[in-house]
Amino acid sequence: MLNLKGEVIGIAATGAAVISHAVPSDEFNALLSGPELPLDKWQKEKSVRAYDSLLLGEWSEGNKAIEHYNEAIKLYPNFARAYLSRGIAKFQLGELLVANQEDIERAEKCYIAAINDFSEVIKRSAANPDTYRNRGAANFQLGKLLIENQEEIKKAKKDYIAAINDFNEAIGRDPNYAEAYLYRGAARQKIKQQKEAKIDFQTADRLNPDLRK
């Protein structure tokens, strides 16, 4: 796969008759960066097994996906993408628990774990705006969960402020990130920054009129 500059950005791979994807070129290079090995020995390399676990996680759901990401990180602790995928999976699990009004305490733990994973991505790689948006969303949902369940209001406010800081980072990296403005507006609204929230909502609507529909 090439970008508009003609640079290689991915290696095409086909999983099934109707499913195709590409391995990012930097990850592909990392898998091949070691000494030349016969295929059977290469497949046993920790980095290769970690990548295989990552792919298994992306083809799974819920706790099963998280188990695969855990294995990928255990094999290759510096694998930033595995932390990102695990963070997203934990965030989604928290959302599911809240939507079904199940174990709220567990949902809170899922959001905290997701925040920690996104922080690991930021620590280990040049995080893109989405990573900050993801962490901001998890902070926002954590604050919302605390207020809805009449827990510490001060703690919830800290979560909203943390979310705003993350959305600031996302917008700083991509000034046209409509979803980050929308989320930041919602977080500002929660801590009574109504004027700033209104500006964020207006900016989000200008950048993407369909976002709030």
Q: What is the pLDDT of residues 108-158, one digit of tens each?
A: 999 999 999 999 999 988 778 999 999 999 999 999 988 876 667 778 899
For the chain, percent of residues with pLDDT exceeding 90: 53
Question: What is the rounded CA–CA span in Å between residue 57 and residue 50?
Answer: 11
DSSP 121: H
88 band by pLDDT with thresholds 50, 70 and 90: very high
C-alpha torsion sign, points 31, 35, 37, 41 = negative
- The closest of 97, 94, 87 to 66, measured between CA atoms, is 87
Q: How many CA atoms lie within 13 A of 5 on its CB side?
A: 3
The 10s digit of each residue's pLDDT in 16-70 is: 444 456 666 666 666 666 667 677 776 777 878 888 898 889 888 889 999 999 9
Query: What is the pLDDT at residue 212?
Result: 76
**Best-predicted range by mean pLDDT (69-83, 95-109, 125-139, 178-192):** 178-192
User: Is 185 exposed, middle or buried (CB count within 10 Å of its CB: 0-12, 13-18, 19+)?
Assistant: buried
Residue 15: pLDDT over 80: no
Q: What's the gap between Cα 177 and its chain centre?
A: 15
